[in-house]
Amino acid sequence: MADFKMDTDGDGIAVITWDVEGRSMNVMTRDAWETLDGLIDEALSNDSIKGAVITSGKDTFAAGMDLNVLAKVRDENPDSPAAAIFGMLMEAHGVLRKIERAGMDPKTGKGGKPIAAALPGTALGIGYELPLACHRVFAADNPKARIGLPEIKVGLFPGAGGTTRLVRKMGAMAAAPFILEGKLSNPAKSKSAGLVDEVVPPGELLSRAKEWVLAATDKDIVKPWDEKGYKMPGGAPYHPSGFMTYVGASALVHSNTFGAYPAAKALMSAVYEGALVPFDTALRVEARHFTSVLMNPSSSAMIRSLFLNKEALEKGAKRPDAGDQRVRRIGVLGAGMMGAGIAHVSANAGIEVVLIDRDQEAADKGRFHSESILDKGVSRKRITPEEKEVILGRIEATTDYAALEGCDLIVEAVFEDPSVKADVTGRAEAAVPDDCVFATNTSTLPITDLAKASKRPEQFIGIHFFSPVDRMLLVEIIKGRKTGDRAVAKALDFVRQIRKTPIVVNDERFFYANRCIIPYVNEGIRMVGEGVAPALIDNAAKLAGMPLGPLQLVDETSIDLGARIARATKAALGGAYADGEVDEVIFWMEDQGRLGRKNNAGFYAYDDKGKRGEFWRGLGDKFPKADVQPDLATVRHRLLMAQVLEAVRAFEAGVLEDIREGDVGAILGWGFAPWSGGPFSWLDMIGAADAIGLSEKLEAVHGARFAAPELLKDVAASGETFYGRYGDGTAMAA
């Protein structure tokens, strides 16, 4: 069945309904475009049709473009990929412009047919660009609906006229949060921002849109930019106020992205250049810049990791077949920073929570954490006071293990001490049903060892959250040696319930994320000891696309935690420990009482209110800057290769089973340069042979930690890429 169908009512209004069969949300495909184009032709040419309403047969309007299509256009046209992409975009502009001009006389603006959009719910990407081309946008008053243009988040920008139309509709400054940051809003906020024209009760959506169509005059359907004398709100680039906007916006974008994101740059160019020319030329300019973005390997890597593979993992690409394992009642042991966060996200997902700590005060404090997050939600009108009470009502804070009766999952988040963990494991298992799965949130202790305290090691698993739990998107699921399939399925179903992204890894020191982030932080600290300017270290990291430089990151996570991990690692590795130079710096910082942000004193200086300032001067006294500083590229390569080589080693060792998880996990877990699509995508982008060249150069100067893993050598020798060889999820190890 076609994705769009058209029915004309007794009043002569054509209702064009978008309803993709077999999908919970509509997504746009090339075939669907053609169908829509045909229906628009029919509506405009048939004299008995007075106007049209475009709506959806679902409770949402559309999730956007099927990004598989975008990803494929380039690959399907190897001889002239850019021309194929540009052609596709101009076709889309043609259809949308046809809707917008609606058959009117181009000179007088008379005689067109009114076309309204009626959005029952969420409308994203092309799902909002299509309404934007219509003459009036109605949205059902559905507070859960999200409306906007999130393309920038997957390395694109709104390329079906969304950029050009929104800037002309509201001005560059007002449009910036929507096109540049991908801000989404509910219908009420969309109306006050000017994204939609009317918010109506859901039951009246279609009738109100039709009423408008019947009453619309010629003037109602001419867009401001198609009228004579149109002036851009806020001023065009050569207007004094517009000038300020464009100069400021450019600086702002650069300070946020450090120039690492091709889509942000291309978007700015499309906006600026588009503002200088007539509307139809601006659409061509937008299409050219969008083409350049799609031709950039960064965009396809971002789409692959942040959209296609992220979604595949969320939908259970790695889930063993084990029946429905959704969690109904969860026990959380330890109501500290992590336990309180885990209790909150669980209650928020509708799960009954028993939150246990050593004394009632600590347990209550954990529940209070949830209350304060919910209070913020109420004050920002994200939830109602009633909803807050319902969510909070799901959390029972107690010291009594008997309350765990009926739990089907336990997540333990007590102190990082094997004997404390063993004790609570035994006590919880005595209270829960036999089939309850037991998970630990440990960050450093092997799951297989902790499972020894369990009577049911096949039901024992690691579910590793990142801090802060309510904001971090990734959850690392760790299989111990004896962990069975049902426990994996349970963990995956739980992560799906709380709407986070899972990766499933095997049990080895630091699992995956911490295993790669530690060498990054250590490389930065090591450079301080060598006399590299701290500003060069952190700025090189940001220029490489890392959200935080290594020195800022260790300040945030705390320097004593770093020192503790270093001591434990040294104790475990003995003679094989190779980070002595790092310890010299970090132990000294610890001795100085500079523990990071938590005590307002770390590699950076902080003011009394905790605001981060410059690097701490005392650092330079102890570790003076060397006279000759390395070049930016060397620092950048050291910081990136430290992480990337470790990711390859993790895959080689079978900790990671799937490079897709390696890439998605790296971006969501520790913010690995999202523009690259992840460490494996980055390697494919520069080519395995060049990566070997880099690692040899670094190894010669800085030592064996940069030695290329055999697997990288093998991929280079065969002339393959990681995705070429393993991109379908092929496992390296068991």
Residues of this chain that interact with ligand NAD (CB under 6 A) are 333-339, 356-358, 362, 413-416, 420, 423-424, 441-443, 464-465, 467
Find the shortest distance in angstroms from Cβ 396 to ligand NAD.
15
Is the distance from CB of 179 to CB of 158 less than 8 angstroms?
yes
Question: Rounded to whole angstroms, how far apart are CA atoms 420 and 409?
Answer: 19
Tokens of 81: 């990929």
Find the shortest distance in angstroms from Cβ 546 to ligand NAD.
18
Report the residue number, 480 or 677, with the smaller CB distance to ligand NAD: 480
Dump the DSSP string for 208-240: HHHHHHHH--TGGGS-GGGSTT---TT--TTSH
Find the shortest distance in angstroms from Cβ 671 to ligand NAD.
15
Find the shortest distance in angstroms from Cβ 639 to ligand NAD.
22
Q: Where are the beta strands (DSSP E) in 594-651?
A: 604-606, 612-615
Is the distance from CB of 46 to CB of 83 less than 8 angstroms?
no
Helix 513-530 × helix 580-591 angle, to 10° = 80
Find the shortest distance in angstroms from Cβ 342 to ligand NAD.
9
Q: What share of the chain is helix, strand, coil (3-state, %, to 5)?
A: 55, 10, 35
Find the shortest distance in angstroms from Cβ 597 to ligand NAD.
13
Report the residue number, 126 or 356, with the smaller CB distance to ligand NAD: 356
- Sign (positive/negative) of CA torsion 188, 194, 196, 198? positive
Report the residue number, 338 or 712, with the smaller CB distance to ligand NAD: 338
Find the shortest distance in angstroms from Cβ 542 to ligand NAD.
22
Report the residue number, 283 or 335, with the smaller CB distance to ligand NAD: 335
Show Cβ contacts of residue 564 under 8 Å, excluding neighbours closer than 6 positions: none
Report the residue number, 320 or 418, with the smaller CB distance to ligand NAD: 418
Beta-bridge partner residues of 463 = 477
What is the three-state SS of 35-97? HHHHHHHHHHHCCCCCEEEEEECCCCCECEECHHHHHHHHHHCCCCHHHHHHHHHHHHHHHHH
Find the shortest distance in angstroms from Cβ 421 to ligand NAD.
7
Report the residue number, 121 or 446, with the smaller CB distance to ligand NAD: 446
Find the shortest distance in angstroms from Cβ 534 to ligand NAD.
24
Closest-CB residue for ligand NAD? Answer: 336
Report the residue number, 117 or 356, with the smaller CB distance to ligand NAD: 356
Of 386, 398, 392, residue with least CA distance to 352: 392
Question: Rounded to whole angstroms, how far apart are CA atoms 128 and 125?
Answer: 5
Find the shortest distance in angstroms from Cβ 682 to ligand NAD.
25
Residue 309 is given by DSSP the state: I
Report the residue number, 181 or 416, with the smaller CB distance to ligand NAD: 416
Report the residue number, 55 or 441, with the smaller CB distance to ligand NAD: 441
Question: Rounded to whole angstroms, how far apart are CA atoms 480 and 504?
Answer: 11
Question: Rounded to whole angstroms, how far apart are CA atoms 45 and 39?
Answer: 10
Buried residues in 59-71 as b, exposed as e (16+ CB within 10 A): ebbbbbbbbebbb
Find the shortest distance in angstroms from Cβ 420 to ligand NAD.
5
Report the residue number, 256 or 360, with the smaller CB distance to ligand NAD: 360
Question: Rounded to whole angstroms, how far apart are CA atoms 690 and 683?
Answer: 9
Find the shortest distance in angstroms from Cβ 360 to ligand NAD.
11
Question: Rounded to whole angstroms, how far apart are CA atoms 246 and 248?
Answer: 5
Beta-bridge partner residues of 200 = 140
Report the residue number, 56 or 425, with the smaller CB distance to ligand NAD: 425
Residue the block writes with tokens 């620092």 = 635
- The helix/strand/coil state of 594 is coil
Report the residue number, 358 or 456, with the smaller CB distance to ligand NAD: 358
Q: Strands of 184-185's sheet, edge to edge?
A: 123-124, 147-148, 184-185
Report the residue number, 334 or 679, with the smaller CB distance to ligand NAD: 334
Buried residues in 514-547 as b, exposed as e (16+ CB within 10 A): bbbbbbbbbbbbbbbbeebbbebbbbbbbbbbbe
Find the shortest distance in angstroms from Cβ 408 to ligand NAD.
20
